[in-house]
Amino acid sequence: MLNYIWFGMMAISVVAAIFTGRIDAVTEAAINMSKTAVEISIGLIGIMALWLGIMKIAEESGLIKIIARGLRPITIRLFPDVPADHPAIGSIVLNMAANMLGLGNAATPLGLKAMEELQELNPKKDTATNAMVMFLAINTSSVQLIVPATVVALMGVAASQIFITTILATLCSTVTAIFMVKMLEKTKTFSVENAS
């Protein structure tokens, strides 16, 4: 799937650029974005180290287990393949909490830790498991309880009005994400055997 989408996006770009006369801009974007990608990754090192360190403390002290146990009734339904007391559940829950509160900086390291722990349970290392896809889908459609700081800065007083609409819209998108994942994971096209 990603093979076609990745190639498709680049091929469409080049064809479209020929029509719009923006071929130079496309070349420039390709070169600049490869630079940006590295800058983003390198920039993550510090934040990653900070949160992974704090997470390790939370793990050693048993905090993660307590959180995971508390939310077991929900997580067992969303991630039936992950044992209820597995450390991945703790990281997943913390990542979701960080996302809901709009703490993007904390959410990414927690999410990557969760992925690492989910990968331990994965029998086919290059293919996403049901739990991984569910986690990713919930993550990208996350319920947003706090309007992002950038939006508050932009909107000023009007930001308070979009508080409820944002919660409602994200609720709809999260429900859709869960429904789509549960439905698609059973289809043949997206099965682990046929995975692409």
Partner 1 sequence: MIESIVGSLNAGAKYIIPLLLVGIPFYALSVKKVKVYEVFVAGAKDGFTIAVRIIPYLVAILVAVGMFRASGALDLLLNFMAPVLNFIGFPPENLPLALMRPLSGSGSLGLLTDLVNEHGADSLTAKIGATMFGSSETTFYVLAVYFGSVAVTRSRHALVAGLTADAVGALSAVFFCKLLLT
Rank residues 50 and 74 by Cβ distance to partner 1 and give the closer one.
50
Least distance CB 7 / partner 1 (angstroms) = 8
Least distance CB 122 / partner 1 (angstroms) = 8
Widest CA span in the chain: 60
The binder of partner 1 chosen from 68, 93, 118, 131 (CB under 8 A) = 118
Site for partner 1 in 134-193 (CB under 8 A): 135-137, 139-142, 144-152, 154-166, 168-170, 172-174, 176-177, 180-181, 184-185, 187, 190, 192
Site for partner 1 in 88-107 (CB under 8 A): 101-103, 105-106
- Asked if residues 112 and 48 have their Cβ atoms less than 8 Å apart, the reply is yes
- Residue 121 interacts with partner 1 (CB under 8 A): yes or no: no
Long-range contacts of 2-5 (CB under 8 A, 24+ apart): 2/196, 3/196
Count of residues that interact with partner 1, criterion CB under 8 A: 113
What radius of gyration do the chain's Cα atoms show?
20
Least distance CB 186 / partner 1 (angstroms) = 10
Distances (CA, A) of 49 to 42, 46, 110, 115, 159: 12, 5, 11, 16, 33
Rank residues 9 and 73 by Cβ distance to partner 1 and give the closer one.
9
Site string for partner 1, 16-55 (x = CB under 8 A): xx-xx-x--xx-xxx-xxx-xxx-xxx-xxxxxxx-xxxx
- Cα 109 from Cα 188, distance rounded (Å): 33
- Cα 20 from Cα 119, distance rounded (Å): 43
